[in-house]
Amino acid sequence: MSSPNVPIGPQSITKDEIDKKLAAFDSVPLFMKSLPTEDTEDVTLAALQSLAHEGTPDEVAENFKEQGNEYFKGNRYREALGFYTQGIDAHPTDVVLQEALLCNRAACNLELKNFGSVLRDCSKALILNQHSSKAYYRSALALLLLERVDEALDCCNRCLDFDAENRGVLGVRDRATKAKAEKDRREREKAERSRKEKEEKHQMVIAFKERNLIAIQKEDGSSNPYSPHFDAEDPTQSTLVLPVFFLYPQYATSDVIQEFVEDTPFAAHISAMFPPQAPPADWDTKREYIDGNLVIYAMTHRKRLLKVGKKMTLRDVCKAAKGKENEPKDGLEVKDGCLTFVVLPKGDVETKWVEEYKKTRDAT
């Protein structure tokens, strides 16, 4: 009577366990994937080595090719490749056999994604036989997978010149034709994006010059995720939108307005950020930053201080920042893509900051 703890019938086995059992056969001479090339004291191995290389080079190579074919049918491409290589190394004299070994090894490398090796073996096969359809087919597949679609199409067309009904090559040509159309579409879109970017950069340079804006780039490149651009809602593409920093030097903190449309009054932003009825910002310990109790200052490139009126727009401030005739160029600095303004409460804080700014400016 069977024990209740002993399973009855065939038991399941994991893939890892199967692989381990198959790997164990590699040490058994009759089941080795390939025979060692060096001398051995193992009598069985020595006998097998002798048998494997017994006969003419063509017979030896044919034997290795047949073994490779068996492994290839079982999807064991790396082992099959080893046998085809041994067949090639046997230096057969039969050109048809040489071509077959090279094309078969290329088929293994195609499965293993060694596309450079595929192209090298197919090239050698085509030297032996200029009408080798298999070599053209596998070359075309490798080139297609490498996204070298023009070369893949060339391979297909060369083959179809003498083997017009080859379904495999026709299939690859169809895939390559579609891939080329897609590649061409992407390249056209990329070229169009590049053209638009260049045009926008050119228009931005003109817009900056017209608005007395002076771009100051960081030496180590921009770290600002926002950048000046034209308003997408303006069909004339003439309205500038810039990121703007509001600095609060009294508390060493700041806010960023990601998109400040140049025709928007500063008062619109201030009233939205500091409405009288809203709770104060965490850092506003004295409850001074309230709409109606604030002043805004702009600093020009030449360190002039401009007081911004509540009804002034960004475009108005840009005009006010323009330097006088016969004086060096002046304007607002766009540092790392951003404009900067100082926001202060009226009264002593404002007076003290203005005095310190002028003192520092005059000292330099």
CB 67, CB 81: distance < 8 Å: no
DSSP states of 118-169: HHHHHHHHHHH-TT-HHHHHHHHHHHHHTT-HHHHHHHHHHHHTT-TT-HHH
Q: Up-side HSE of residue 111: CA atoms within 13 Å toward CB?
A: 15
pLDDT, tens digit, 9 for 90 and up, residues 228-249: 999 999 998 899 999 999 999 9
Residue 1: pLDDT band (50, 70, 90) is: very low
pLDDT, tens digit, 9 for 90 and up, residues 185-227: 999 999 999 999 999 899 999 999 999 999 998 777 667 788 8
Is the CATH number of domain 15-181 1.25.40.10?
yes
At 196, which amino acid appears?
A: K
Distances (CA, A) of 327 to 206, 305, 322, 333: 21, 16, 10, 17
For the domain spanning 229-363, the CATH number is 3.10.20.90
DSSP character at residue 313: B
pLDDT score recorded for residue 30: 47
At 150, which amino acid appears?
A: D
pLDDT, tens digit, 9 for 90 and up, residues 58-114: 999 999 999 999 999 999 999 999 999 999 999 999 999 999 999 999 999 999 999
Q: Two tokens at 178?
A: 């579609």
Nearest alpha-carbon partner for 340 in 222, 158, 164, 213: 213
CB 95, CB 128: distance < 8 Å: yes
252-259 long-range Cβ contacts below 8 angstroms, 24+ apart? 253/283, 256/226, 256/338, 258/226, 259/226
Q: Two tokens at 43?
A: 């009598």
Nearest alpha-carbon partner for 70 in 99, 42, 31: 31
pLDDT at 40 over 60: no
CB 248, CB 289: distance < 8 Å: yes
DSSP states of 66-129: HHHHHHHHTT-HHHHHHHHHHHHHT--S-HHHHHHHHHHHHHHHHHTT-HHHHHHHHHHHHHH-
pLDDT score recorded for residue 179: 96
pLDDT averaged over every residue in the chain: 89
Q: Two tokens at 256?
A: 């960023």
Give the Cα separation of 66 and 114 in Å (integer): 22
Domain boundaries, the chain: 15-181, 229-363
DSSP states of 182-248: HHHHHHHHHHHHHHHHHHHHHHHHHHHHHTTEEEE--TT----S---EE-TT-TTS--EEEEEEEEE
pLDDT, tens digit, 9 for 90 and up, residues 252-263: 999 999 999 999
CB 122, CB 135: distance < 8 Å: yes
pLDDT at 2 over 90: no
Nearest alpha-carbon partner for 331 in 302, 352, 355, 305: 302
pLDDT at 34 over 80: no
DSSP character at residue 344: E
Give the Cα separation of 270 and 310 in Å (integer): 9
Q: Two tokens at 162?
A: 């003498």
Choose the weakest-confidence range: 11-15, 145-149, 239-243.
11-15
pLDDT score recorded for residue 327: 85
Nearest alpha-carbon partner for 140 in 167, 103, 172: 172
Q: How many CB atoms lie within 10 A of CB 327?
A: 9
Give the Cα separation of 218 and 225 in Å (integer): 14
